[in-house]
Amino acid sequence: MNTAIDVRPFTAADAAEVRDLFVKVNRLLALPDMREAFEGYIARSLEEEIDHVEAYYRERDGGFWVAVDGDRVVGMFGLEPASATAMELRRMYVDPNARRRGIARTMLRYAEDECRRRNRPTLDLSTSELQGDALSFYRSSGYQLVREEVALSANNKTVGGGIRRYHFTKSL
């Protein structure tokens, strides 16, 4: 694990790197026959959330953080309330060029600690079948699968297109 990674709250100065990381990761996830759907998802998510990340999460009583290596954003994630006792982990991405260094584990631990600070003893999250490493990571981090669904319609949380989504939870 790389101890040089620092997790800190998002600032306006991070906006371009967060935007670029979001686009980069989602384009890498796009299946060849779903490129158009992913581009639509990216555009919608940028407009509705990523390009206004600070306001988006503040309005929802959540927060958004970045993982930095020196002065470079190498990861990101958000939290928003899911219920009176739970937060939902959103937009957890690690730069593909910085993976396998413990960044995701550091961010997840930070997110779990933030839930505890907010007196929300449960963390919920979802990911898709396209993110096999994430599925393994969440399972190995103690998250329990609570449901699966096939996302037919698109919004700023899913591409849609029949991709299977897995919903997990963990009591902290």
Domains of the chain: 5-124 (3.40.630.30)
- Coil, strand, or helix at residue 6? strand
Beta strands in 84-151, from DSSP E residues, in sequence order: 86-94, 122-128, 144-151
Note the pTM of the prediction, 2 decimals.
0.92
pLDDT at 93: 97
The Cα 121–Cα 112 span in angstroms is 9
Which range among 55-69, 98-112, 142-156 shows the weakest confidence by mean pLDDT?
142-156
pLDDT at 51: 98
pLDDT at 31: 87
Please return the burial class of 88, using the count of CB atoms within 10 Å of its CB with bins 0-12, 13-18 and 19+: buried
pLDDT at 153: 64
Mean confidence (pLDDT) of the chain: 93
pLDDT at 60: 96
Q: Which long-range contacts (CB under 8 A, 24 or more apart) does 114-118 make?
A: 114/63, 114/65, 114/79, 114/87, 115/79, 115/86, 115/87, 115/172, 116/172, 118/87
pLDDT at 160: 63
Which range among 32-41, 47-56, 100-109 shows the weakest confidence by mean pLDDT?
32-41
